[in-house]
Amino acid sequence: PLSGRAYVYGAMRVTGAADPLVPGRETIPGERPPRTRRAPRGGLAEIVFLSGVPAPHVVDAATSFVKRRHSPQEAGFVNACLRSICAELDNKDHFFDDAPEHIRLRLPEILWSRWQEHYGKDMATAIAEAMLQQADTFLRLREYPPQQPPKELKGIVSVEPPEWDPKAKIYKLDRKAHVSIAEVFSSNTKFYIQDPATLLAPSFLAPRPGEIVADLCAAPGG
């Protein structure tokens, strides 16, 4: 199941694509306040775009929340909307066949326009499609004090260090192992959660022995 943070971030990322799925599924007549139209977003995001909780459980949770927080009438709208989506899940790969490109790529229209102008359509499309892929979780073995990686640690795999920091000991979470970050850290091995790209900044700075550097973003764990 998704963490609360992953759920909120995921819903925000796909709002532009989820919103067009609502119109036309309003089986209960009458105007809906904005709060009710916003309510299905999280549910739609999890049902259509994200993985985790089974769709019927998502529908039940969203409906119960709106009923408790707002009204039974608004809960009825949310329930009907989400159930309509669930009935078509086998065909969800074609939900956006007729949608504008910025919706298919989960981008705000103004950002899509600017990217095309700046990068050209092919490059802008490649960037947007890359952003739709789930990012890997990278871990870096702490250097101070020096740590030795365990001989066997399920759930992570070693990866080649980046060219800008060839001495870094970098690992990534193995998605196929279904191991949580908490299980990795329970090994008492001192890792940072740190994407290799963040090591670029120190390489550009190139600090020398004896220099004093204030790292205003420093924190164990990144």
Summarize pLDDT for 57-68 with one digit per residue, the tens.
888 888 888 888
Q: 85 to each of 22, 67, 138, how far by Cα in Å?
A: 9, 19, 35
pLDDT at position 206 is 86
Average pLDDT over residues 11-31: 64
Between 173 and 149, the more confident residue is 173
pLDDT at position 122 is 94
pLDDT at position 123 is 96
Between 204 and 51, the more confident residue is 204
Q: Is the pLDDT of residue 158 over 70?
A: yes
The answer for residues whose C-beta is within 8 angstroms of residue 207's C-beta and 6 or more apart is: 213
Query: Nearest CA to 125 among 116, 114, 137?
Result: 116
pLDDT at position 222 is 47
For the question of whether the overall pTM of this predicted structure is more than 0.85, the answer is no
Q: Is the pLDDT of residue 215 over 60?
A: yes
Q: How confident is the model at residue 178 (pLDDT cuts 50, 70, 90)?
A: low
Q: How confident is the model at residue 77 (pLDDT cuts 50, 70, 90)?
A: confident
Query: Nearest CA to 14 among 29, 2, 26?
Result: 2
Cα separation, 113 vs 101, in Å, equals 10
Residue that is written with structure tokens 């904005």 in the block = 34
Percentages of the chain per state (helix, strand, coil), in multiples of 5: 50, 5, 45
